[in-house]
Amino acid sequence: MDLVNIICVKWGTKYGADYVNKLHSMVRRNMSRPYRFVCFTDDAAGIAPGIETQALPKIGIPEFDAATGWTRYHGWLKATVFAAPLSDLKGPVLFLDVDIVITGPLDDFFDPPGAFLVIKEWDKRDETGNTSAFRFEAGAHGDLIAHLAADLQSAQSDYRNEQEFVTSYFSRKGLMGYWPKGWCVSFKRHCMHRGLMGFFRPARIPQGAKIVVFHGKPNPPDAIIGRSGKWYRRVLPVAWVDELWR
């Protein structure tokens, strides 16, 4: 069976090295096929010695290569994984955000055909995808970087974030597909009980879910202790997050 790639990106101080270490551990427990795990980062301090780390990909756009300004603080550095070449990686690449919880086998994410597969954004009716988990071929989409470099100002003003830009680009190219419904779920939308039930029952894992995405608040450590991060939302302590996010 051919080797596949699983990667993540960590920069700045929003997420610590422990997020990368736990993601790597979750991947190890949920992959049976041979794979290479790489974390692209601006600071490898604290990342476990057994995890391969590489510098953030350079794409020839000064604002990105310097990792400063809006690119640093609004998630756009994720787009650097479309560099061509992407370091020495070859073949299929599964990108995973560092703040997810893996709840099922990941092998299936390498099976569906398609040039670019991504989560369907739950809160939008258009084509927008959620880039917490997406798959592509290493080095196959350098044209996306060229398109971004050609009008960086327009990209910043026309799209709220990296995922809107990336998924719009692949959609216009006719290359975008979505993971089967239910594989990737939102902690807030699909795991937490609605209304008053949320005050009495902790969040659960929907049947068939392989990845739980934590977007906004709470983050995994918040869910473990029952801290919502929002005054209007109650989160009871979630034992399965504590069990799996390690």
Q: What are 35's two structure tokens?
A: 């794979």
Write the CATH number for 138: 3.90.550.10
Same-domain status, 88 and 190: no
Q: What are 169's two structure tokens?
A: 């680009």
What are the pLDDT digits (tens) for 113-169? Answer: 999 999 999 988 888 999 999 999 999 999 999 999 988 888 878 888 899 999 999
Please tell me whether the overall predicted TM-score, pTM, comes out greater than 0.85 for this model.
Answer: yes
Q: What are 45's two structure tokens?
A: 């301090």
Same-domain status, 125 and 235: no
Average pLDDT, the chain: 92
Same-domain status, 32 and 119: yes
Same-domain status, 49 and 19: yes
Same-domain status, 78 and 169: yes
Same-domain status, 232 and 124: no
Q: What is the pLDDT of residue 69?
A: 58
Domain stop point among 121, 149, 178: 178
What are the pLDDT digits (tens) for 205-235? Answer: 999 999 999 998 899 999 999 998 776 778 9
What are the pLDDT digits (tens) for 163-206? Answer: 999 999 999 999 999 999 999 999 999 999 887 676 778 999 99
Domain, as residue range, for 29 = 4-178
154 contacts 92 by C-beta, under 8 angstroms:
no
Q: What are φ and ψ of residue 13, in 5° steps?
A: -120, 5
Domain stop point among 123, 143, 178: 178
What are the pLDDT digits (tens) for 21-78? Answer: 999 999 999 999 999 999 999 999 999 999 999 999 999 988 888 876 555 556 789 9
Q: What are 227's two structure tokens?
A: 């801290």
Residue 100 scores a pLDDT above 60: yes
> What is the C-alpha separation between 51 and 100, in angstroms, rounded?
18
220 contacts 212 by C-beta, under 8 angstroms:
no
Question: Per the structure, how many domains does the chain have?
Answer: 2
DSSP 39-86: EEES--TTS-TTSEEEEPPP-S-HHHHTT-HHHHHSSGGGGGGG-SS-
> What is the C-alpha separation between 48 and 18, in angstroms, rounded?
9
